[in-house]
Amino acid sequence: MTVVRIAPSPTGYLQAGNGRAAVLNALFAKKSGGKFMLRIDDTDDTRSTRTFEDGILEDLAWLGLPHDIFARASDRVAIYETAAEKLKASGRLYPCYETPDELDRRRKRQLAMHKPPVYDRAALTLSEEDRWRFEAEGRRPHWRFKLTHKRVHWNDLIRGAVEIDTVTQSDPVVIRENGHFLYMLPSVVDDIEFAITHIMRGEDHVTNTAAQIEIFEALGAAPPAFAHYPLFVTAEGGKLSKREGSLSLRALRESGIEPLALASYLAKIGTSDPIEPRLSLDALAEEFAFDKIGRAAAQFDLAELSALNGKLLHMLPYDAVTARLAALGVAEGPAFWDAVRPNLARLADVQSWRDVVRGPVAPVLEDPGVTGKAAALLPPEPWDETTWGQLTKSVSDATGTKGRALFHPLRLALTGRGDGPELKKLLPLIGRAKALARLEGKTA
C-alpha cells in the first residue's frame, strides 16, 4: 500500500510551500488508494509549541486533508535512541567535541584556502584520553553520521536519475550536545517504522536525500521512492520567503480564499495542466501524475490565486454554499446566488449585493431623463428575467438612447454602482417598489 507523509515543524503556521507538500502527497495517496500521514516534527524543543501544532491540524482540516496516520516525534524518542545505539555499535555514529566557534573558524579557513567547507572528520582521530579530557572540561559530544563517501544513486520520480557523491558532504549532525535529536535520524526511523513508500518534497532536500538513503541502509531498511519538485518563487521570479505572513494558510483563509481554490492552485501550479479550479479533491487526485510536474520553478502569484478563487465561486451550486450564506446573513435564495456569483471574488462579497437587493440604496442619477422615463414605463409585477429587456426596449424607443448611454444610467440608479450582476437577474430580486423609488432618485 502507498503510504506518504508530511512532517511540518510546529514552530509557526503552515506556509504555502507546506500546503503544496500536503496537497500533492494527499492527492497521490488518494489516487493510489493509500494512506496520508501527518508527522509532527517537534524535535526543536525550544521553538515547537502545541499552539502551532493545533494550528497545523486546523489548517489541514480546513484544506480538506485529514490524515490517516498521526505521530509526534517527541513521543517517540525511545525508538530513536534504540536506532542511535545500533548505529553507534556499528561505527556509523561517532562523537564530536568541537564547539560551534571552532567549527566556524575551521570552515572559514577552508573557504580562505578555496576548499569546500566539509567537515574533516577530525573527531575520528581522537583518542580515549582526548575524549576524557574534553568531557572533564565540561564538553558534551554531538554525534555525526559517518557517510560512506560513495556515490548515491536514485531514480527521482520528478527529476529522473540523480547521483550525489557523499565525499562532497559533511557527515551530518544527528544528535545535539544536549542529547536531543535533529531532524534527519528521527525522520528516517519513522519512515521505516510507518512503512513510508514515497517521499515527495521540495528540491531543497535533494542533497539531504543521499545521507538519508545511507541511514536507511545502515539501519537495514530499503529506502522509499523519492520525488523532489521545484520550489516556489514570487511572481517576479524572486525567492518566496517562508516568513511572508500573507502566504500562510491561515492568512489566505482569513483573506477569503476558498480551500478548494487553494488546493487547486497548489495542485496545478508548476505542472503541465492548466490552472483551473476543481470542485473536489477527488477530481484533483484523478488528474495527479508525477510526469506532469515540471522542473522549472513555480511562480506563486497571489493575484492569480485570487482570480482562481473567483472562478471557483462562479462554479459553485447553491446547495454547496447555503449554510455559509446563512452564516453571512444572506438568505435570498438560489435565484440571488445565481445572479451574483459571477461577480464574486470572495464569498463575503455577497453581503454587498444582498444590501443592493434589500436596500436602502442611494441612487446615482447620471441621466435624469433616461431614469425618469424608465420610472414612468416600469411594468407591473410579476417580474422575471424578461422584464429588464422589455423595460430597456421601451425606454430606448421613447428616448432614442442606446448602448451605454441607456444601460449605465439605469444601473447607477437601480444599484448605486457602475457595474455588477446582470440586471435581468437582479431586477426581479430588487422588486418594483424599490426599483421605482430609486429611478425617481429616492433612497430605497
pLDDT on residue 242: 54
pLDDT band of residue 247 (cuts 50, 70, 90) is confident
> What are the pLDDT digits (tens) for 188-244?
999 999 999 999 999 999 999 999 999 999 999 999 999 999 999 887 777 776 555
Residue among 24, 54, 45, 19 nearest 36 (CA): 24
pLDDT on residue 245: 53
Angle between helices 432-439 and 423-430 (to 10 degrees): 100
Q: Is the model's pLDDT at 130 over the cut of 70?
A: yes
- Mean of the per-residue pLDDT values for the chain? 95
Q: What is the identity of the amino acid at 191?
A: D
State the Cα–Cα distance between residues 91 and 65, nearest whole angstrom.
41
Strands 35-40 and 3-6 turn out to be parallel
Instruction: Tell me the percentage of the chain whose pLDDT exceeds 70.
Output: 99
Whole-prediction pTM: 0.93
> What are the pLDDT digits (tens) for 269-279?
999 999 999 99
pLDDT on residue 32: 97
Residue 126 Cα to chain centre, angstroms: 47
pLDDT on residue 369: 96
The angle at the Cα of 211, spanning 241 to 134, to the nearest 5 degrees, equals 95
> What are the pLDDT digits (tens) for 92-112?
999 999 999 999 999 999 999
pLDDT on residue 236: 74
pLDDT band of residue 246 (cuts 50, 70, 90) is low
The angle at the Cα of 216, spanning 212 to 222, to the nearest 5 degrees, equals 125
State the Cα–Cα distance between residues 60 and 154, nearest whole angstrom.
31
pLDDT on residue 241: 63
State the Cα–Cα distance between residues 50 and 58, nearest whole angstrom.
12
The answer to whether residues 437 and 361 touch, using CB atoms and an 8 Å cutoff, is no
b/e per residue, 173-198, with b = 16+ CB within 10 A?
A: bbbebeeebbbbbbbbbbbbeeebbb
Residues in the chain, how many? 444
For the chain, list the domains and their CATH numbers: 1-74+230-315 (3.40.50.620), 79-175 (3.90.800.10), 318-358 (no CATH), 368-439 (1.10.10.350)
pLDDT on residue 235: 75
State the Cα–Cα distance between residues 140 and 379, nearest whole angstrom.
90
pLDDT band of residue 30 (cuts 50, 70, 90) is very high
Strands 198-202 and 225-229 turn out to be parallel
Residues 6+ apart with CB under 8 A from 13: 52, 55, 56, 59, 248, 249, 250, 251
Q: Is the model's pLDDT at 126 over the cut of 80?
A: yes
Return the HEC string of the chain. CCEEEECCCCCCCCEHHHHHHHHHHHHHHHHHCCEEEEEECCCCCCCCCHHHHHHHHHHHHHHCCCCCEEEEHHHCHHHHHHHHHHHHHCCCEEEECCCHHHHHHHHHHHHHCCCCCCCCCHHHHCCHHHHHHHHHCCCCCEEEECCCCCEEEEEECCCEEEEEEHHHCCCCEEECCCCCECCHHHHHHHHHHCCCCEEEEEHHHHHHHHHHHHHHHHCCCCCCEEEEECCEEECCCCECCCCCHHHEHHHHHHCCCCHHHHHHHHHHCCECCCCCCCCCHHHHHHCCCHHHECCCCEEECHHHHHHHHHHHHHHCCHHHHHHHHHHCCCCCCHHHHHHHHHHCCCHHHHHHHHHHHHCCCCCCCCCHHHHHHHHHHCCCCCCCCCHHHHHHHHHHHHHCCCHHHHHHHHHHHHHCCCCCCCHHHHHHHHCHHHHHHHHCCCCC
Ranges 42-56, 321-335, 391-405: which has the least confidence:
42-56
